[in-house]
Amino acid sequence: FLYGDCYPKSGLDQFPERGKLTAARLYELQREQGDRFLEFVKGSFAIVRWNAGALSPVIYTDPLNLRTIYYSSTSRGWIVASSLSALANQLAQNGTAPAIDYRAVVQRLLFDFTLGEETYLQGVQEVPPGAILTFDGERCRLDKWFDPWTSFSVAGPTLDRCDGAERLKQVLADNIALYTEGAEHTAVALTGGFDSRSIVALLEESAADYELFSYGREGSWDVKIPQAIADRLQFQYTPILLGQAYEAEFPKYAELAVRLGDGITEFSQANIAYVYSRFLQDKRSILTGLFGSELIKTPSSRGLFLDRNMIEILQADDPAPVVQRLCAELRAKELGFPVDEEALLTTIRQHPFISNDRPLPEKYFYYLLMVGIRKYFSKEIKIQKMLKKNLHPYFDVEFIAALLDTPYPWVYHFSQEKSLWKNLSIHQLYGSIIDHNPALSDVISTHGFRPRNLLSKSRLPLLAWEYLTHKKKISKASQLNFQRALSLTHIQREGSRLFDGCSLPSASLPVLRREAPKNFLQLSSLQRWMQTIGTSL
Instruction: Kindly state the average pLDDT of the residues 2-30.
Output: 89
Residue 245's pLDDT is what? 96
C-alpha torsion angle, residues 385, 391, 392, 396 (rounded to 10): 100
Cβ-contact 415, 297 below 8 angstroms: no
Q: What is the CATH number of the domain that holds 256?
A: 3.40.50.620
Split at pLDDT 50, 70, 90, the class of 165 is: very high
237 with 250, same domain: the answer is: yes
Q: Are residues 57 and 187 in the same domain?
A: no
Nearest partner of 111 among 382, 366, 313, judged by Cα: 313
- Is position 515 within any domain? no
Q: What are phi and psi of 249, to 5 degrees?
A: -100, 10
Q: Which of 167-176, 345-354, 368-377 has the lowest mean pLDDT?
A: 368-377
Task: Average the pLDDT over 217-226 and give the result.
Answer: 90
* pLDDT tens-digit series, residues 399-453: 999 999 999 999 998 877 766 677 777 888 999 999 999 999 999 998 888 899 8
| pLDDT at site 77 | 86
Q: Which pTM value belongs to this model? A: 0.93
Q: Does the structure show a pLDDT above 90 at 41?
A: yes
My answer on whether 173 and 139 are in the same domain is no
pLDDT value for 194: 93
What is the C-alpha to C-alpha distance for residues 395 and 376, in angstroms, rounded to an integer? Answer: 13
The Cα–Cα gap between 402 and 157 comes to: 9
Domain contains 48: yes
239 — pLDDT class (breaks 50, 70, 90): very high
**CB-based contact 73:156 (threshold 8 Å):** no
**CB-based contacts of 367, cutoff 8 Å, min separation 6:** 306, 310, 314, 353, 354
Mean local confidence (pLDDT), 356-365: 94
71 and 172: one domain?
Answer: no
pLDDT of 457 strictly over 80: no
Residue 210 pLDDT greater than 80, yes or no: yes
Q: Where among 455, 478, 501 does a domain terminate?
A: 478
484 contacts 517 by C-beta, under 8 angstroms = yes
Residue 54: predicted pLDDT: 65
- Helix extents (H) in 370-419: 373-384, 397-403
Question: Among residues 106, 121, 150, which one ends one of the domains?
Answer: 150
- Residue-range definition of the domain harbouring residue 451: 154-300+360-478
The pLDDT, as a whole number, for residue 343 is 96
Residue-averaged pLDDT of the chain: 92
Q: Higher-confidence residue: 185 or 420?
A: 185
In angstroms, the CA 52 to CA 61 distance is: 21
- Do 99 and 239 share a structural domain? no
Percent of the chain exceeding pLDDT 70 equals 96
Residue 161 shares a structural domain with residue 138 = no
Give the per-residue pLDDT at 294.
Answer: 82
Task: Please spell the DSSP secondary structure of 337-369, one letter per residue.
Answer: S---HHHHHHHHHT-TTTS--S-HHHHHHHHII
Give the range among 163-172, 274-283, 305-314 with minimum mean pLDDT: 305-314
Both 179 and 203 in a single domain?
A: yes
**How does DSSP classify residue 127?**
P
Q: Tell how strand 131-136 and strand 58-61 pair up.
A: antiparallel
Cα–Cα distance for residue pair 450/443, rounded to 1 Å: 6
Are 73 and 209 in the same domain? Answer: no
Over residues 450-470, the mean pLDDT reads 80
Tell me the pLDDT tens digit for each residue of 323-337. Answer: 999 999 999 999 999
Give the SS3 label for residue 491: helix
Domain annotation covers residue 339:
no
At 476 the pLDDT is 61
Read off the amino acid at residue 495.
G
- From 115, 150, 185, give the residue that closes a domain: 150
CA atoms within 13 A on the CB side of 176: 27
Contacts of 276 (CB under 8 A, 6+ apart): 286, 383, 384, 387, 388
Question: How far is 369 from 354, CA to CA, in rounded Å?
Answer: 12
Same domain, 370 and 442: yes
Q: What is the amino acid identity at position 102?
A: Y
- 242 Cβ neighbours under 8 A, 6+ residues apart: 215, 216, 217, 271, 274, 480
Question: Which long-range contacts (C-beta less than 8 Å, at least 24 apart) are formed by 73-78?
Answer: 73/123, 73/138, 73/140, 78/135, 78/140
Contact (CB, 8 A) for 98 and 535: yes
- What residues contact 147, with CB distance under 8 A and at least 6 apart? 130
Q: Tell me: the pLDDT tens digits for 504-534?
A: 888 899 999 999 999 999 999 999 999 999 9
Give the 3-state DSSP-derived string for 405-457, with helices as H, strands as E and coil as C. Answer: CCCCCHHHHCCCCCCHHHHHHHHHHHHHHHCCCHHHHHCCCCCCCCHHHHHCC
**Measured between alpha carbons, how far is 144 from 128 in angstroms, rounded to an integer?**
9
Residue 256 counted as domain residue = yes
> Does the structure show a pLDDT above 90 at 18?
no
H-run or E-run covering 230: helix 221-233
Residue 352 maps to a domain? no
Measured at the CA of 111, the angle between CA 354 and CA 301, to 5 degrees, comes to: 95
Flag whether pLDDT at 470 surpasses 90: no
The reply to whether 116 and 249 lie within a common domain is: no
H or E element, residue 239? strand 236-241
The structural domain count of the chain equals: 2
pLDDT at 479 over 70: no
Instruction: For residue range 125-156, list pLDDT tens digits in order.
Output: 999 999 999 998 888 999 999 999 999 999 99
CA dihedral sign of residues 364, 366, 368, 369: positive
Counting every residue written for the chain, the total comes to 537
Neighbours of 480 (CB within 10 A): 14
Give the mean model confidence (pLDDT) for residues 53-70: 89
Per-residue pLDDT reduced to its tens digit, 369-407 = 999 989 989 999 999 999 999 999 999 999 999 999 999
Residue 259 confidence class, pLDDT cut points 50, 70, 90: very high
Could you give the CA distance from residue 175 to residue 164 in angstroms, rounded to a whole number?
17
- First-to-last C-alpha distance (Å) of the chain: 35
50 close to 56: Cβ distance less than 8 angstroms: yes
pLDDT confidence of residue 303: 56
Mean pLDDT of 185-214: 96
Check whether residue 246 and residue 379 sit in a common domain. yes
Statement to judge: residues 169 and 295 lie in one domain = yes
Distance between CA atoms of residues 389 and 381, nearest Å: 8
Q: DSSP H helical segments within 416-480, as ranges?
A: 420-434, 459-478
What does the pLDDT average to over 283-307?
81
Sheet strand arrangement including 58-61: 2-8, 41-49, 58-61, 131-136, 139-144
For residue 39, give the CATH number of its domain: 3.60.20.10
* Confidence at residue 516, expressed as pLDDT on a 0 to 100 scale: 92
